[in-house]
Homo-oligomer: A and B are copies of this chain.
């Protein structure tokens, strides 16, 4: 009886405090990108990238966030901040058919592209999505 109770307590502890832990690692993989778009192609590019972002978030478990903004002074200069569950999730993303299609479609619309690999210092948001665990 005592053994059964101890076992039940252990099972509860495992379930409550670790057995079903969030699969995201403590430190996600983050990346910045800066793109300058051909001004005459901006509407087409924006439509393509919005669709690619939405698809990635919907179908890829490891794509946690992709934020796209335009410079206020130069709307053809776009900046992206991306959060992946891991570097492997990022590698899977750039190998995905929808990402490859986006690259192919938008190649002639992009004047320049700078990619910056980064290391997260702290990712703070209202929902505490990326809090150190």
Q: How far apart are the CA atoms of A83 and B81 in the complex, in Å?
A: 12
Q: How many copies does the complex hold?
A: 2
A118-B70 contact in complex given A79-B32, A126-B57, C-beta closer than 8 Å: yes
Pick the residue among B68, B71, B123 that contacts A123 (CB under 8 A): B68
Interface residue total, chain A, C-beta cutoff 8 A: 38
Selected A-B contacts with CB under 8 Å, 11 pairs: A30-B69, A49-B121, A54-B122, A65-B125, A67-B124, A69-B119, A69-B120, A70-B118, A72-B118, A75-B119, A125-B129
A binding-site residues for B, Cβ under 8 Å: 30, 32, 46, 49-50, 53-54, 56-57, 63-73, 75, 78-79, 81, 83, 116-127, 129
